[in-house]
Structure 1
Amino acid sequence: MNRSLLPVALVTATYLLVSIVAAVRLGNVEFVFYIGVMFVLIALVALVHARVGLSTGLLWALSIWGAMHMAGGLVQLPDGWPTDGGFQVLYSLWLLEGPRDATGAAVGLLKYDQLTHAYGFATATWLCWQGLQGAVAPDDPTRPGTPRLRPSLGTMSLVATAGMGLGALNEVVEFVATRVTDTNVGGYENTGWDLIANTVGATFAVCLIAWRGRDGARG
Structure 2
Amino acid sequence: MGLRSSLASLPAFGCREVITPARVSHAAVSKNGWVSMTASMPRDSTWTGSLPVALFTGGYLLLAILVAVGRANYEFLIYIGSILVVLPVIAVTHAKIRLTGGALWSLSAWGFMHMCGGLLHVPESWPIQGDHAVLYSLWLIPETIKYDNLVHAFGFGVTSWVCWQGLRAALGGAAEPTWGRMLLVWAAGQGFGALNEVIEFGAVLAVPETNVGGYSNTGWDLVANVLGCSVAVLWIRFGRAR
- TM-score (normalised: structure 1): 0.87
CA distance in 2, matches of 1:24, 1:76: 16
Q: Aligned residue for 2:220?
A: 193
Unaligned runs of 5+ in 1: 98-107, 139-147
Among residues 170, 184, 188, which one is paired with 1:162 in the alignment?
188
Q: Aligned residue for 1:40?
A: 85
Cα RMSD (Å): 1.0
Q: Tell me the SS of whatever aligns to 1:95.
A: strand
| Bigger RCO of structures 1 and 2 (CA < 8 A, at least 6 apart) | 1
Among residues 122, 130, 133, which one is paired with 1:88 in the alignment?
133
Q: Aligned residue for 2:162?
A: 127
The alpha-carbon deviation at position 73 of structure 1 amounts to: 0.5
Among residues 176, 188, 191, which one is paired with 1:150 in the alignment?
176
CA distance in 2, matches of 1:10, 1:135: 29
The residue type equivalent to 2:101 in the other structure is T
Q: Aligned residue for 1:31?
A: 76
In the alignment, structure 1 residue 179 sits paired with structure 2 residue 205:
yes
Q: Aligned residue for 2:118?
A: 73
CA distance in 2, matches of 1:87, 1:169: 24
Deviations 1:156-191 (A, max 9, x none): 001001001110110000000001102111000000
In the alignment, structure 1 residue 212 sits paired with structure 2 residue 239:
yes
The alpha-carbon deviation at position 136 of structure 1 amounts to: 2.2
Unaligned runs of 5+ in 2: 1-43
CA distance in 1, matches of 2:124, 2:103: 36
The residue type equivalent to 1:110 in the other structure is I
- The number of residue pairs the alignment matches comes to 196
The residue type equivalent to 1:149 in the other structure is A
The residue type equivalent to 2:184 in the other structure is L
Larger-Rg structure? 2
CA distance in 2, matches of 1:118, 1:79: 25
Q: Aligned residue for 1:3?
A: 48
